[in-house]
A and B are shown apart, each in its own frame.
Chain A
Amino acid sequence: MTTLSDPPQSAFKPSMLLNDTRYRGYTFQFIALVCVAALFAYLGSNLLQNLRDAGLVISFNFLGDAANYDINQTLIEYNNQMDHWRAALVGVLNTLLVSFLACITATIFGVFAGVARLSQNWLMRKLMSAYVEAFRNVPVLIWIIIIFTVMTAVMPAPRDFRGEDAAASMVLFDSVAFTNRGVYVPKPIFGPGGWAVVLVFIASLVGAVWYRRYATKLLYETGKLLPTGWPTLAIIFLPAILAYFVLGQPISLEYPELGGFNFTGGINILGSLIALWFALAIYTGAFIAENVRAGILSVSKGQTEAAASLGLRPRRIMNLVILPQALRVIIPPLISHYLNITKNSSLAIAVGYMDLTGTLGGITLNQTGRAIECILLLMAFYLTISLSISAIMNVYNNSVKLKER
């Protein structure tokens, strides 16, 4: 019996780099890599040469200089004597705020519209397809401007609230004012012990989540069904209300009042924030609706029928059978929609919302003239934000995706 031996190894010859299919691929990739690197090196040195010729050097020192401009919405302490770096941080936080609000709202709109588009109700179904088609097919910038313009044109100015027979009045027991400068709402003032109430409330939220998980686990393991609706509400609100009264009502509200030119006191939610927030939420919500619809349709109809034959009601079929499976299809595109919201929030300047593009990429860039540095920083910031969102969402995706055992 003959034994099989490996074919004799021929010695490596340089010509094999071209002739041997084992090496040819690497050769060409290496050549391509060198070409690309050379191209970029040339462009980079060209840029530096030109900047030097123009007498400009790349330097980030300007970030330490006083910004000298004011920002109308600051989540952290800021005044115009602080430096450009601080102004950029204010912008980052404003970007994160509007993105966060828009992501939450878009998800709610999207899930509702996506499910409703598959509803048995003809009117509901058609209304939702009209919503999805109308919002998906018009650029988000247009929506931002439409909402903002309508708000400034339709809402009354603060001066309309003045006088005996004022043209406008506040709503909700004189606590909320809708004006063309935004919405003025009461501001909570924390007395001693006020924060304890907030802590109790946060703890209750955690408790409510834990309770719902426990209920689901119990259902899956023993089939025993605990009520979730009213106990959740009770867990969230009862301890906080109790703590509020036990500690002697430590939180009071500061109501907005008409001052010299504007309402003073309370919190002013800027019109530009509202316009940007809703435009992004409604626009992206339409895309998410389609993802949700696709996710639901991806679950075989047999699953619904099997669940129904077990006697489950439609709402439970959706919650317990369809949505958990649909999430696997819904989550990955949802991540990119969250990224889109964050990136689209840079259209804020259209309505004068001072996000990162407005502060660092707008006023700072313009006042210092450091365009290249500012744009590099802008890119770094957005890259960091996007990669972080992506990382967090991927962790969530891993927890809901199909477990292969």
Chain B
Amino acid sequence: MKKTVILGALTAAGLSAGAAGAQTLDAVKERGTLNCGVTTGLVGFAAPDANGEWEGFDVGVCRAVAAAVLGDPTAVEFVPTTGKTRFTALASGEIDMLARNTTWTFSRDVDLKFEFVGVNYYDGQGFMVPKALGVSSATELNGATVCIQTGTTTELNLADYFRNNNMEYTPVPIETNAEAQQQYLAGACDVYTTDASGLAATRAAFEAPADHVVLPEIISKEPLGPLVRHGDNDWGDVVRWTLNALIAAEEYGITSANIDEMAANGNPEVKRILGSEGDLGAMFGLEADWAKRAIAAGGNYGELFAKNIGESTPIGLSRGLNAQWTEGGLLYAPPFR
């Protein structure tokens, strides 16, 4: 009996691993929809709106890929994943790509056999505390109770940070951002820690955002980006260059408003991106206007940023590191040729 149970579990794992082996690009085209893993809900990055339509910065990447591959930005099946379930969902083939505030780390890339196709948000881990506590620096947090999403890199950074600074803390492990928010507001923890962008998004959803401060310390590098499974390089290329197209579009001034004009009259690089000169799309099995469709889906990188998480939104993130390299930021798309 013992054996049967174990083998049963292996069976389930084995069958799902089998499904993952197929070529993803063909599978997506045949299915007609893209299965895109997102968070269970983080306002600004990925959350359903009042009509149940998913929207946000990460969602924008999913839609761009769907537009590039299928020609339809709405042909996306959004699969909400938690910090715990995301990698299993991707490894088992339940989702084709994951666009979910996931930090690019060595072990995830090498050991877990995933492929990060780029960075769509350069982030770092921060701390948020109620203003009433009178804390102005993370170095004053000795003895605090800290809410933390379990199974994330932030959990490990937190342990490192407190160990390096010889401070004690009590972790309160929590599965989703919504639960963390509720616990934090109820005072069950003094501090909430996650990526600074996530803190900003969470705070924006509070009734009184001004009662909470994000401490100045950023204790880690968190390059967040979409990822796919290892070993399916064609699919990896599609997702990587869709993201690059969004970034390059901003650099060259291609917006969703002027895209047709740019395709006709832009410089050669712009024309190559938009498919009106040469045929880059054919190299990986997509139509010539793949990038044009991706950019038209939600706008270029800058438009997506401004619409979902930028300074004019309640989340109010400044571009900072996420500005174009020409503006002193880190965004840099390789040449399209």
Contact = CB atoms under 8 A, between A and B. Distances in A.
A262 B7 contact: no
A260 B169 CA distance: 11
Given A54-B113, A80-B159, A259 B143 contact: yes
B173 A260 contact: no
A51 interface: yes
Nearest to A56: B113
A153 B15 contact: no
B160 A68 contact: yes
Contacts of A372: 10, 13
A145 B229 CA distance: 35
Interface string B50-71: 0000000000000000000000
Given A153-B186, A362-B150, A261 B145 contact: yes
A47 B83 contact: no
* B interface, size bucket: 35 or more
Given A46-B18, A68-B160, A180-B188, A369 B107 contact: yes
Contacts of A56: 113
A69 interface: yes
B236 to A, nearest CB: 14
A157 B188 contact: yes
B268 interface: no
A375 interface: yes
A71 B5 contact: no
Nearest to B85: A366
Contact of A363 (B15, B107, B173, B189): B173
Interface in B117-176: 132-133, 141-145, 150-151, 155-156, 158-160, 162-163, 169-175
Contacts of B169: 70
A43 B7 contact: yes
B188 to A, nearest CB: 5
A362 B150 CA distance: 8
B111 A47 contact: no
A55 interface: yes
A366 B14 CA distance: 19
Nearest to B129: A261
Question: Which of A56, A160, A180, A366 lies at the interface centre, i.e. has the most chain B CB atoms within 10 A of its CB?
Answer: A366
Interface string A253-280: 0000001111010001001000000000
A261 B142 CA distance: 8
Nearest to A259: B143
A68 B159 contact: yes
A40 B144 CA distance: 51
Interface in A30-68: 40, 43-44, 46-48, 50-51, 53-56, 68
B143 A262 contact: yes
Contacts of A51: 17
A376 interface: yes
B210 interface: no
A261 B113 contact: no
A393 interface: no
Given A55-B113, A352-B174, A366-B87, A260 B142 contact: yes
Interface string B1-38: 01011110111011101101100000000000000000
A104 B181 CA distance: 34
Contacts of A262: 143-145, 170, 190
A50 B18 contact: yes
B175 to A, nearest CB: 7
Nearest to A79: B163
Contact of A54 (B6, B107, B231): B231
Contact of A50 (B17, B107, B144, B174): B17
B84 interface: yes
B256 interface: no
A180 B132 CA distance: 18
A55 B87 contact: no
Given A54-B21, A70-B159, 7 more contacts: A55-B113, A159-B132, A180-B187, A181-B172, A260-B142, A369-B107, A369-B111
Interface of A: 40, 43-44, 46-48, 50-51, 53-56, 68-72, 80-81, 152-153, 157-160, 180-181, 259-262, 264, 268, 271, 349-350, 352, 354, 358, 362-363, 365-369, 371-372, 375-376, 379, 383
28 contacts: A46-B15, A47-B17, A48-B14, A53-B21, A54-B113, A55-B113, A68-B156, A69-B155, A70-B159, A70-B171, A152-B186, A153-B186, A157-B188, A180-B186, A180-B187, A261-B145, A262-B144, A349-B173, A352-B173, A352-B174, A354-B173, A358-B173, A362-B84, A365-B84, A366-B87, A366-B151, A369-B87, A375-B9
8 tightest Cβ-Cβ pairs between the two chains A and B? A47-B14, A157-B187, A366-B151, A50-B17, A369-B112, A80-B159, A43-B11, A260-B143
